[in-house]
């Protein structure tokens, strides 16, 4: 029941903000009403990557299936099997480098998000956590 009340409250707050934004369109650009606080947009932090429990094999991570998929729209080009094979080879050749860069990107985003979250007050952090949890509950409920 608590989740439903929280979800309803968040929905009400979001719709109230949208109505407020729609009403602000008649005001000149750059003029902000003094009675409305400016709320910074905060991107939620990424979920931590789950590590396998001790004793469990990490075969899934190491056994990454190479999916031989053509890039977008290449399937429409009537490629020969030789061309497809060469494309798959190029993809395999660059896969490790791209995976490494994706890991660096993920780490950089996590660092950025942590620095952004450090700007928040404890009350804002709590509110952010509740918003994220509500979104996850809604996603899980689908």
| Rounded average pLDDT per 10-residue block, the chain, 142 residues | 64 59 49 51 51 51 68 93 95 95 97 96 95 91 70
139 domain-assigned: no
The pLDDT, as a whole number, for residue 92 is 94
101 domain-assigned: yes
Please give the model's pTM, rounded to 2 decimal places: 0.45
Exposure string over 79-103, b if 16+ CB within 10 A, otherwise e = eeeeeeeebeeebeeeeeeeeeeee
104 domain-assigned: yes
The pLDDT, as a whole number, for residue 14 is 63
88 domain-assigned: yes
140 domain-assigned: no
The pLDDT, as a whole number, for residue 54 is 53
The pLDDT, as a whole number, for residue 141 is 78
Q: How far apart are CA 85 and CA 87, in angstroms?
A: 5
Tally of domains within the chain = 1
129 domain-assigned: no
């Amino acid at each position: 029941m608590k989740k439903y009340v929280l979800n309803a409250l968040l929905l009400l707050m979001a719709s109230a903000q949208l109505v407020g934004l729609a009403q602000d369109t008649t005001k000149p650009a750059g003029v902000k009403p003094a009675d409305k606080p400016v709320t910074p947009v905060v991107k939620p932090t990424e979920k931590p990557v789950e590590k396998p429990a001790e004793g469990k094999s990490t075969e899934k991570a190491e056994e990454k299936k190479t999916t031989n998929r053509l890039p977008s729209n290449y399937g429409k080009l009537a490629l020969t099997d030789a061309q497809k094979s060469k494309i798959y080879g190029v993809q395999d050749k660059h896969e490790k480098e791209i995976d490494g860069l994706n890991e660096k990107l993920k780490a950089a985003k996590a660092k950025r998000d942590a620095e952004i979250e450090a700007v928040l007050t404890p009350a804002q952090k709590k509110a952010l956590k509740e918003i994220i949890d509500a979104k996850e509950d809604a996603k899980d409920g689908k």
